Structure 1
Amino acid sequence: MVIYVHQEYIININYLSRFQYIQVVHQSFSSLHTDMGIPHFLAIPYPILGHMNPLLQFCEVLGKYNCKITFLSSDENYKKLIKSSASGGQESHVKLVSLPDGVDPEDDRKDQSKVILTTTNTMRAKLPKLIEDINAVDSGNNNISCIIVTKNMGWALELAHQLGIKGALFWPASATSLASFNSIQALIDAGFLDSETGLPIKTREIQLSSNLPLMEAAAMPWYCVDNAFFFLHMKQEMQKVNLGEWWLCNTTLDLEAGAFSTSPKLLPVGPLMAISDRNISSLWEEDKTCLEWLDQQQPQSVIYVSFGSMVSTKPNQFKELALALDLLNRPFIWVVRKDNGYEVGNAYPDEFKGKQGKIVSWAPQKKILSHPATACFISHCGWNSTIEGVYNGVPFLCWPFCSDQLMNKTYICDVWKVGLGFDMDQNGLISKGEIKNKVEQLLEDEQIKGRSCKLMEMLIKNKAEGDKNLNKFVNWAKE
């Protein structure tokens, strides 16, 4: 059974020629300095890497539009950002400030329910005074005019609303995942979801609107380890983020066309990585020696493996992946993170040789994916990684773990058709043989390679639309 959640919101697009389009964008950008004042944005990300990095990148882009940006982080992350900005080369457009997030040093920051609750309770009480102090620096001449938050920080939009400050959401995942969260109440009202747990009452496929793909119930992004807490939190969170006038997404209209029919608030401002490479480098130290190693490899020969900043494989699955990389007998870069100074709790199998590859604790991912030696990307399908892979025309081997990653896999494999998924065995493992076979199948599939190149070209062409929408957003903030 298919459920249609949203009626269509009709988007009018002015189809200008490419030359006219660029002219219009250029003229609008040129007028930013003269027609209105300078907007002052206060950016507040949820304190994890997958939210901070994309919002920092967006802030650097806003800085090039003659905007003033203050970036609020937790005290812990502030120290890392200061260190990173000092070694980042060019001067950043972003001013860094911090507040405590209430998470004790001995607490596990992977416990997302605890981090959400403590961050909300601690930062909310201190934010009004911080805003007052920031505004006082310029004697009221350039007060904060708009607060931008990521997911889990909707309380700051509530506060902005109370203070009479404009608010916007910067969504660090896909527009489709945002549309799905915004559909929670409709799905409950339709009798599809349990209102307390978010679990499906009946097993069926979901279609959030008539021009979005069919998805299994298990692909909805609220399914994670602490399902009940996260589902109820996101029910409340969506009420708060609806106070934001714009929902900004690092995506394009062509990439997720159906999602933009679900709400007039959604505004595609991507691909951001095509517009600016921010001057504050990664919070985690990147092992750049892998780039020198990559320069020595043959074109389209290297398998890149990374599961992002949050998820980890279990020991038996880690072993299968290691042995599969040996079996493939191809060059590889494998990111095996260090968390809190310790190796992630996985031991390499005794028989693992790894002679063909390069293992690093953190990698300059954009540079790896744009390198001509990179052949494919074994990915957890987080949205930042998905956009970076698509933008560089790299085919995917999809290994999603939870949240929006399952939805992104649906797009990669079934909608865009630029990747393959892995199948688990009867023990719930992705075996070394399955990994080897799927990688070889992907690397021999010229159709997938061709579609990957075409999708890359489309995303690059979409840059003009992203520029236009950024202008629209900046001009709105100036009003």
Structure 2
Amino acid sequence: MDYLHCKNGAHILLFPFPTSGHIIPILDLANQLLYRGLTITILVTPENLKLLDPLVSTHSSNTLHTLVIPFPSATSFVSKLQASFELSQPILEFFESHKSPPLAIISDFFLGWTNQLACQLGIPRLVFWASSAKQSLVVDEIWRNLPLPKEQSMVSFTNLPSSFVLPKWQASELVSKYIPGDPFWECFKDTMLSNFKSWGAVYNSFMDLEDTYVDYINKEMGHDRVFLVGPLLPQGDNLVESFKRGGSSVVQECEIVTWLDSKAENSVLYVCFGSRTELPIKQTEALAHALDKSGVNFIWCVRGQNQEHITKEYEDGVSGRGLIIRGWAPQVVILRNKAVGAFVTHCGWNSILEGISAGVLMLTWPMGADQFANAKDLIDELGVAEEACEGGQEIVPDVKTLSELFVMSVSEDCPKREKVLHLRDGAVKAVKKYGSSSKDLDSLVRQLSQLK
């Protein structure tokens, strides 16, 4: 690998929000910064420490360190947000006791309170957006204008570079819970608005995908320390690195690869709804029937309670053309295989970037958060996806229509395949030497290395 290496190995603290969808991309960022010579400490909870195994096995213990802090007991997303505020004191104690403490903090956008912590420490904080650049503007706009009028059913974003509207219930789940005057929610509102006050911003995105928003973000932040460094993914044909990323697969690498290699190019449909999303029962049943009826080859990653509804009889009935994976699957490895032609996705940002980088048609099935807006962009703006269904209101798709969509998505004359491949080429080019994301990463390392 041909990287810019900084001379002084500047020490940086990376602080991900403790859910896999937020941890995985910031670990990918850590990998790139380590390859470029920085020294990295990653703040991690004991239950997520295992996710660092691929980094630990690749990089020297002299440059990669962990700060393991037990996370206060929390189960729901909101309770984790509340609990995160309690980590300020242990982080301060870490800085005070360290001989060579980090010169900057890069933290997830849900941890905007670390901007105040960084100010207290006298160091810069950079916000890491595990969502799109466009979504960062949407989030800032919504929190800036709370509370939304109760009678308002649509939210307009007319002053952003691409004017659009979203149904209120799709715009943001979190703001629907906002209680004006409540101490926690006022504190969290402040923490979200702190993101655009940060010293810098790092996006898991790339210029060919989102150049429309960069100048606007520079203006909103009041500086140009905005770095688009994605797609943050294992590069090249490193199957070992890709297979371990995000956790241990419940299926052996050789089993998955052998199964895929036995199928024709672009003939396999991959179905996965991310690390946290579970389909409602009726949607699960409709999806199962549509896959059966379509006759297409498919891999279906099934998690949680959905596993109960996919019986052994169903697996036997689709044997040979259907592979059911019950638990974590190596998504990057699967998507990059030439046999995979389409991807049924919940439209989480990580999955979108993985789908784009693999050059597969996406069939959108958003379930919450930013996924509805992401799906709309994939279909309407980028033209690299087709609508399959959507969650949130428990719509049950028509089995016949859905099965026909599956057949079309893996056909040789799939109408959007050319656009998909064009966008893939842009993603691949961005992370190569002299590509836009590679240059932004080098610029980020240079500026971090100059910190005192």
* 2:64 pairs with 1:100: no
CA contact (8 A) 1:167 1:243 kept: no
Give the corresponding residue for 2:26.
55
> What secondary structure sits across from 2:299 in the alignment?
strand
Give the corresponding residue for 1:436.
403
Question: RMSD over aligned Cα, in angstroms?
Answer: 2.9
> What secondary structure sits across from 1:475 in the alignment?
helix
CA distance in 1, matches of 2:105, 2:399: 47
CA distance in 2, matches of 1:199, 1:402: 21
TM-score by length of 1: 0.80
Give the corresponding residue for 2:245.
282
Structure 1 residues 81 and 233: alpha-carbon distance in aligned structure 2, compared to 1, 3 A threshold = same
> What secondary structure sits across from 2:426 in the alignment?
helix
Give the corresponding residue for 1:330.
296
* 2:137 pairs with 1:179: yes
Between stretches 405-414 and 262-271, larger displacement belongs to 262-271
Give the corresponding residue for 2:94.
130
Query: Which residue among 198, 206, 209 is the counterpart of 1:255?
Result: 209
Any unmatched runs of 5+ in structure 2?
none
Q: CA deviation at 1:462?
A: 2.4
Q: How does 1:76-155 map to 2 (within 5 A)?
A: 76-78=47-49, 80-81=50-51, 88=57, 94-103=64-73, 109=75, 111-121=76-86, 123-133=87-97, 135-136=98-99, 140=100, 143-155=101-113
CA contact (8 A) 1:397 1:420 kept: yes
Give the corresponding residue for 2:309.
347
Structure 1 residues 373 and 326: alpha-carbon distance in aligned structure 2, compared to 1, 3 A threshold = same
CA distance in 2, matches of 1:438, 1:162: 54
TM-score by length of 2: 0.85
CA contact (8 A) 1:424 1:431 kept: no
The one-character-per-residue Cα deviations of 1:110-148 (angstroms, maximum 9, x if unpaired) are x11111111222x12211112233x22xxx4xx310111
Q: CA deviation at 1:348?
A: 2.4
CA distance in 1, matches of 2:170, 2:206: 21
Structure 1 residues 53 and 99: alpha-carbon distance in aligned structure 2, compared to 1, 3 A threshold = same
Between stretches 283-292 and 220-229, larger displacement belongs to 220-229
CA contact (8 A) 1:318 1:346 kept: no
Query: Which residue among 440, 444, 447 is the counterpart of 1:473?
Result: 444
Write 1 or 2 for the structure with the bigger share of helix. Answer: 2
Give the corresponding residue for 1:72.
43
CA distance in 2, matches of 1:310, 1:416: 26
Any unmatched runs of 5+ in structure 1?
1-25, 189-194
The one-character-per-residue Cα deviations of 1:349-370 (angstroms, maximum 9, x if unpaired) are 6873332211112211111111
* 2:4 pairs with 1:29: yes
CA distance in 2, matches of 1:233, 1:364: 37
The one-character-per-residue Cα deviations of 1:423-443 (angstroms, maximum 9, x if unpaired) are 579972123223212222333
Structure 1 residues 331 and 159: alpha-carbon distance in aligned structure 2, compared to 1, 3 A threshold = same
> What secondary structure sits across from 2:4 in the alignment?
helix
Give the corresponding residue for 2:284.
318
CA distance in 2, matches of 1:435, 1:112: 32
CA distance in 1, matches of 2:158, 2:427: 24
> What secondary structure sits across from 1:262 in the alignment?
helix
The one-character-per-residue Cα deviations of 1:305-351 (angstroms, maximum 9, x if unpaired) are 0000011001121111111111111111111124xxxx546422687
Structure 1 residues 199 and 351: alpha-carbon distance in aligned structure 2, compared to 1, 3 A threshold = farther
Give the corresponding residue for 2:161.
211
Q: CA deviation at 1:201?
A: 4.4
Structure 1 residues 205 and 166: alpha-carbon distance in aligned structure 2, compared to 1, 3 A threshold = closer
CA distance in 2, matches of 1:403, 1:450: 29
The one-character-per-residue Cα deviations of 1:66-120 (angstroms, maximum 9, x if unpaired) are 1000111112212x2465656x5665753222101111xxx5x3x1111111122
Structure 1 residues 282 and 120: alpha-carbon distance in aligned structure 2, compared to 1, 3 A threshold = farther
The one-character-per-residue Cα deviations of 1:20-51 (angstroms, maximum 9, x if unpaired) are xxxxxx8x936x32xxx321110011100001
CA distance in 1, matches of 2:394, 2:106: 44
Q: CA deviation at 1:251?
A: 0.7
> What secondary structure sits across from 1:447 in the alignment?
coil
* 2:263 pairs with 1:292: no
Amino acid at match of 1:96: T
CA contact (8 A) 1:290 1:333 kept: no
CA contact (8 A) 1:219 1:406 kept: no
CA distance in 2, matches of 1:313, 1:234: 29
Amino acid at match of 1:431: D
* 2:120 pairs with 1:162: yes
Give the corresponding residue for 1:38.
9
Structure 1 residues 283 and 268: alpha-carbon distance in aligned structure 2, compared to 1, 3 A threshold = closer
Between stretches 226-235 and 242-251, larger displacement belongs to 226-235
* 2:238 pairs with 1:272: no
Structure 1 residues 392 and 43: alpha-carbon distance in aligned structure 2, compared to 1, 3 A threshold = same
* 2:180 pairs with 1:238: no
CA distance in 2, matches of 1:471, 1:414: 33
> What secondary structure sits across from 2:309 in the alignment?
coil
Amino acid at match of 2:48: N
CA distance in 1, matches of 2:407, 2:197: 48
Aligned residues: 423
